[in-house]
Structure formats: structure tokens, C-alpha cells
């Protein structure tokens, strides 16, 4: 487990996702240290204790060891609707949400419109139990002719959210690449494919078209962190 976590840390490090990689390094080293402590091999407790102190000082390790949770979604897996991934972290204290995803835009086929994915995410937010007042969306403009439809769709979602007393702030960036969702209770969720990890349904009247929990997924990795267990680089 320690080796796998460190492997993931290296992948995040190479992708310049330094905060997340640091958390994985923390967790991986903590797991390996537990093994070292259990072996009782030569070098004495002083050597292992010194190493432990040095690593904890460098990485700001947490006493409960809960730095990071990872979910691996396999190809064609089902049962991974947004509620399954997010609701555990949408506690009653959440009042503000940040969504950064470069591909919240119109697709050529309505069944795969990424705007619908964002709309479904907003519906989950509105249903609670959290009392979200503000959602911040950072995405990129549609590069093709669909820009006006993208803007129109987002404005329609924005107007609809107002009836639930939720403000949607929309911003665009041409340089955004990372995908992450943050809540003001400290939880941060990184999905390799962003909100678009569902496969296209076979038809408009096929199982999984409406219920995302029944929709097959693309393979992706979900990394979940808490900011109190991270140290700014």
C-alpha cells in the first residue's frame, strides 16, 4: 500500500500537482514507517525515531494519518453517480463550492453535453443537506461554433439556481488544465476526467440515460484530500 501511494505521489509530482503529491508522499512514507517500526531490525529505535521525526517535520504528517483517499473507477464500472463521490463531503457546514473544469461546454451530441453534467452536479448541491449559497465555476470557452450555446446554457443554469437562492459565478480561462472541486469545509476532490467520466448511453431510452448511477464509466482516478492535512508549497 505504501509503495502504491508513493507511486501515485510521483505521478502527481510529474504532473506539477504539488499539493496533492505532497499529501501522497506523506501517506506513503507514514505507511512505510509503520512497516519499519514493526520489523525491529538493526539500527535501533534511535535511527528509526530520528527518521520519523525528520520526515514528520518535513512533511507535516498528521497524527491520525488520514491525508488522502483514492477511488479507482474501472472501465465500464457503474454505481459512481455524483452523489456517491461527493455527498460524504457535502456536510451541513458547506456554503461555498469551487468547480474548475476546462470542459464545461456544449458537445456535438446532446446526450453527451457536458453542460448537463454540470447541471446534474448543481442539482445534487441544491438537494442538500448542505446549504450552499455560492458556486464558483472556472472553465474555458468552447473553441468552436458552440460558444454562444455554451454561454447561453450556463446563463440558464445560473438563472435557475437563483430560484434556490444559490449564486453561480462564471469565469473563463484559456490556460486552465487541472480539474478539481473544492468545498469551504476543506475537502478537495480531483477527478482525472473531471465531471465527464460517464460514457455515452446507448440510446435515449436505454438504462443509465437518466440515472447516472446506472451509467457505465470511463476509467479514471478520484483523489480526495483535506486541506488541513496539506502544507502549502
In the prediction, which pLDDT does 106 show? 66
Give me the pLDDT at residue 39, please.
Answer: 58
Beta strands in 74-206 (DSSP E): 96-100, 134-139, 167-172, 180-183, 187-191
Share of the chain above pLDDT 90, in %: 48
Cell of 203: 440510446
Q: Which CATH class is domain 1-58?
A: mainly alpha
Tell me the pLDDT band of 129, cut-offs 50, 70 and 90: confident
List the chain domain ranges. 1-58, 68-229
Q: pLDDT at residue 82 above 90?
A: yes
For the cut 60, the answer to whether the pLDDT of residue 30 exceeds it is yes
Closest by CA position to 187, among listed 78, 75, 65, 93: 93
Q: Comparing C-alpha atoms, which of 185, 209, 188 is closest to residue 199?
A: 209
Which residues, 6+ apart, have CB-to-CB distance to 196 below 8 Å?
101, 103, 114, 117
Q: Residues 32-57: what's their mean pLDDT?
A: 51
Report the pLDDT value the prediction gives residue 222, as an integer from 0 to 100.
Answer: 94
Q: What CATH topology corresponds to 68-229?
A: Endonuclease; Chain A (3.30.870)
Contact 112, 157 (CB under 8 A): no
Mean residue pLDDT of the chain comes to 81
pLDDT at 219 over 60: yes
Query: Residue 93 above 60 pLDDT?
Result: yes
Flag whether pLDDT at 71 surpasses 70.
yes
**Averaged pLDDT, 53-60:** 39
User: Phi and psi dihedrals of 96, rounded to 5?
Assistant: -145, 140
In this predicted structure, the answer to whether residue 191 has a pLDDT above a threshold of 50 is yes
Residue 57 has pLDDT above 90, yes or no: no
**Tens digit of each residue's pLDDT (9 = 90 or more) over 139-184:** 999 877 788 888 999 999 999 999 999 999 999 998 988 899 999 9
**pLDDT bucket at 109, cuts 50 / 70 / 90:** very low
At residue 160, the pLDDT reads 97
Amino acid at each position: 500500500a505504501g509503495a502504491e501511494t508513493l507511486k501515485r505521489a510521483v505521478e502527481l509530482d510529474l504532473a506539477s500537482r504539488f499539493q496533492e503529491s505532497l499529501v501522497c508522499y506523506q501517506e506513503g512514507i507514514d505507511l512505510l514507517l509503520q512497516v519499519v517500526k514493526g520489523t525491529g531490525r538493526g539500527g535501533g529505535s534511535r535511527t528509526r525515531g530520528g527518521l520519523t521525526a525528520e520526515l514528520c517535520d518535513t512533511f507535516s504528517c498528521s497524527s491520525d494519518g488520514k491525508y488522502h483517499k483514492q477511488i479507482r473507477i474501472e472501465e465500464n464500472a457503474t454505481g459512481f453517480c455524483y452523489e456517491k463521490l461527493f455527498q460524504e463531503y457535502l456536510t451541513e457546514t458547506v456554503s461555498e463550492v469551487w468547480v474548475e473544469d476546462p470542459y464545461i461546454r456544449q458537445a456535438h451530441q446532446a446526450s453527451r453535453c457536458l453542460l448537463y453534467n454540470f447541471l446534474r452536479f448543481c442539482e445534487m448541491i441544491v438537494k442538500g443537506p448542505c446549504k450552499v449559497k455560492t458556486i464558483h465555476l472556472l472553465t474555458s470557452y468552447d473553441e468552436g461554433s458552440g460558444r454562444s450555446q455554451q454561454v447561453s446554457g450556463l446563463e440558464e443554469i445560473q438563472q435557475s439556481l437563483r430560484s434556490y437562492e444559490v449564486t453561480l459565478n462564471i469565469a473563463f480561462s484559456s490556460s486552465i488544465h487541472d480539474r478539481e472541486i473544492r468545498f469551504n469545509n476543506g475537502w478537495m476532490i480531483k477527478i482525472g476526467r473531471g465531471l465527464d467520466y460517464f460514457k455515452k448511453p446507448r440510446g435515449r431510452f436505454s438504462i443509465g440515460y437518466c440515472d447516472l448511477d446506472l451509467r457505465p464509466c470511463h476509467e479514471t482516478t478520484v483523489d480526495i484530500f483535506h486541506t488541513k492535512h496539506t502544507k502549502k508549497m
